[in-house]
Structure 1
């Protein structure tokens, strides 16, 4: 599964066609942008056949494309509607054609401009001149400030709207997101989408935060939060017994977020929640096989048991072992793909 969503190899060939059409590419252009470097060159006829009914080279093509655009190849195994929604979110359309990630030139300039705008707005937020819900400068003013064209500003702002940083209201202007914290999450989100090599560093940070959160949760005195954690554990047990893996994996995500809340540290909670959401979009849970579900449940029970008896060291160690095993399960996903 990816983020708790059902996967099936039956959808891959259809999703390959959806991906190409969303980017506005012909089959020849898709081959040129993504598959020219293959040792065994692929023909238009072969690609057409793969899009219609699949074939032995389908997985290889999907992996090549996913690597080029830095997305999880397992996304191609989502049902077609879910896949289309994910791709539309990751690659918002422009008026003409999408700029293919990795082509350089214009795309590199837009990436830089997005970072400039993000830092500009974040600085205003920090010094108090801009608050959530405020209207920002017109694109003409921003173009002069950053020495770029107005069309480039408009293009960058559309991306920031997709990421949730701003709200573009036709005829009224562009406004700051209602959640001011987005301004300090978006740079992390955007850098992850652009540079997959940073995922390793993000995982290290997340693991450090999660182990500390588990330790602090062992001393939580918030009865409501502890009750919620208990409810999540019971829901996961029920899902395990019923063989409902989608519900179980959603419970897994909820379990980690709830422990972060139980830590009582708002910074830890916000960062874990943000990183978890990012990882769901980019690399999924990595836990996709039935035999792993029982392992996950048992690991959670050890963490939960330590929290109940206020054993901070035990909760921390339980979380550390769980995250290590989760990483092994994630690696196995690609071995079996």
Structure 2
């Protein structure tokens, strides 16, 4: 099954979850989100019902209009249903009917600001050595007083940070700084990836620049262990390509990029690329169109691999630059 088919299935499932989460009938959903300027419904209940069960060319229209009204990112609908349900439950946790949607929309913006304040607060504590990984943080009551917000807002924000891996909420024990406390210094990027779809083009440009720099640094700094990992992945990519195993080929190709970032020796580059890659895995709207593109990717990766092993910094950077340019043309993100 192709990525496109999987994404289409996710979207219909996630649309049904959203409507159910909001406690709306199909007719109520149409009246809330799909009304023309003259006040008439933009589609019939039968058409909407068909989109919910089978998808169709108007599915994107429905998702965009609902996302716009709720001020959520339409890209969320491409995530797997479990992840989508978790994020929607956080973002619209109190939205049980149409009367609460307006309050939820206003709260989303406030939570965005609160997340920034909390992450900066914890980042400063970490830099000042007042906190370290694994440490327990203050209670939600104390944080609410410091941030001058309600406890419910603090709890909601902490749940988001738990989902993003910044904190570790342990029921009955408290909330702790995660073992990956360095992520607090790149959380603004992570948060924008999940919520600000309008910045996707900029994020992809940053991703491409980081990939190029990672390849250049890998050619200069890769140690023996890193070179062995790259060699092993190159062999796996080659085997998957020869046997036309598309899923394995793409999985190994993404792992290859992760390995290049690790070989760069720059933890910030690696962390930022990991954050972006986690999202990109869910946002490919078309994927590869056939064997020809698979062959292109194979040849491009082989060139990058050879230049890194040869220690050719400029060559590695240029090969990765061309690969990322062509990859942007091969894939579409929504």
- Asked if these proteins are the same fold (TM beyond 0.5), I'd say yes
Call closer, same or farther: CA 1:6–1:217 in 2, change over 3 Å. Answer: farther
> Shift of the alpha carbon at 1:41?
0.5
* Distance (Å, rounded) in 2 between the aligned partners of 1:22 and 1:321: 44
The equivalent residue for 2:29 is 30
The equivalent residue for 1:278 is 279
The equivalent residue for 1:86 is 83
> CA RMSD, aligned part only?
3.1
The equivalent residue for 2:130 is 129
Matched, 1:165 2:166: yes
Between Structure 1 and Structure 2, how many residues are aligned? 325
SS in 1 for 2:176: strand
SS in 2 for 1:104: helix
Note the 1:63-102 alignment, pairs <5 A: 64-65=65-66, 69-72=72-75, 75=78, 83-93=80-90, 96-97=94-95
* Distance (Å, rounded) in 1 between the aligned partners of 2:102 and 2:253: 32
> Shift of the alpha carbon at 1:224?
1.6
SS in 2 for 1:278: helix
The equivalent residue for 2:112 is 111
> Shift of the alpha carbon at 1:217?
1.9
Note the 1:1-337 alignment, pairs <5 A: 7=6, 9=8, 13-36=12-35, 41-55=42-56, 57-62=58-63, 64-65=65-66, 69-72=72-75, 75=78, 83-93=80-90, 96-97=94-95, 104-281=105-282, 283-284=283-284, 287-290=287-290, 291-331=292-332
Q: TM-score, normalised by structure 1?
A: 0.83
Q: Which runs of 5+ in 1 are unaligned?
A: 77-82
* Distance (Å, rounded) in 2 between the aligned partners of 1:194 and 1:246: 28
Q: Contact 1:19–1:84 (CA<8 Å) still a contact in 2?
A: no
Q: Contact 1:279–1:285 (CA<8 Å) still a contact in 2?
A: no
Call closer, same or farther: CA 1:158–1:97 in 2, change over 3 Å. Answer: same
SS in 2 for 1:105: helix
> Shift of the alpha carbon at 1:258?
0.8
Q: Contact 1:214–1:307 (CA<8 Å) still a contact in 2?
A: yes
Call closer, same or farther: CA 1:176–1:41 in 2, change over 3 Å. Answer: same
Call closer, same or farther: CA 1:212–1:5 in 2, change over 3 Å. Answer: same
Question: Which 10-residue stretch deviates more, 248-257 or 6-15?
Answer: 6-15
Call closer, same or farther: CA 1:175–1:299 in 2, change over 3 Å. Answer: same
Q: Contact 1:69–1:101 (CA<8 Å) still a contact in 2?
A: no
> Shift of the alpha carbon at 1:278?
3.5
The C-alpha deviation readout for 1:276-331, integer Å capped at 9, x for no partner, is: 223334x3486332232111111111111212322222111110100000111124
* Distance (Å, rounded) in 2 between the aligned partners of 1:13 and 1:292: 28
The C-alpha deviation readout for 1:79-130, integer Å capped at 9, x for no partner, is: xxxx312312432357643776996322222222222212111111111111
The C-alpha deviation readout for 1:22-76, integer Å capped at 9, x for no partner, is: 4544324433454335997023332123323445534543455567632438827
* Distance (Å, rounded) in 2 between the aligned partners of 1:249 and 1:270: 20
> Shift of the alpha carbon at 1:156?
1.8
* Distance (Å, rounded) in 2 between the aligned partners of 1:54 and 1:320: 37
SS in 2 for 1:167: strand
Q: TM-score, normalised by structure 2?
A: 0.84
SS in 1 for 2:181: coil
